[in-house]
Amino acid sequence: MTSPFAKTLELIDSANRQDPNREIDGAEERPKELLYSERMSACLIEFEPNASEHLRIAARGQHIERWTSPRSDYPEGRTGYKKWRAELGLFHARRVGELMNEAGYREDDIKRTQYLVQKRGLGRDPETQCLEDVICLVFIRHYLAEFASKHDEEKLIDIIRKTWAKMSQQGHAAALQIPLSDAMRDLVGKALSP
């Protein structure tokens, strides 16, 4: 019999497999959010091997069905961006909760995982902080170079500084171990210099 944990991951993966957006992974083209969720899970296990089921589900479901709410549906600028991110957090938490319920989890487990998905208690809750660290590590390892190709250096330095500020000391140590291209290493060095 499949455990509620395994069933929940299976349901999240099944939902994210429907993503019409594709990303190249090695020589293979894959659904973008499925690939992201797998990267989140792999990074979490590397960063925190003893992560709870709640945290492991929150990492896997962080971007569940994200393509259904594109950024372009919201106004340009910081206000539109913040509204989009806030509504996404609620949507992801709701969807993860629905799938956990379908898999047989109790309400208290669902609520705890939803709390993490929404990144509540950042800086106070160790599991929320761990999730934020993993989000930042996945961004640096897998998405920074592509992001850098679309923005000027000043904006990139600002984004890296903001990312760094959200991370714990353990997250910083892990980030400094990520192999980066010379250009990305130089950019991170500029961002982190006083």
Inter-residue contact 52 to 42 (CB < 8 Å)? no
CA gap 118, 89 in Å, rounded: 5
Residues 6+ apart with CB under 8 A from 96: 8, 12, 57, 58, 61, 64, 113, 114, 117
**pTM reported for the whole predicted model:** 0.94
Contact 126/156 with Cβ under 8 angstroms? no
Tell me the per-residue pLDDT of 109-145, one tens digit each, with 9 for 90 and over. Answer: 999 999 999 999 998 999 999 999 999 999 999 999 9
For 148-182, the pLDDT digits (tens) are: 889 899 999 999 999 999 999 999 999 999 999 99
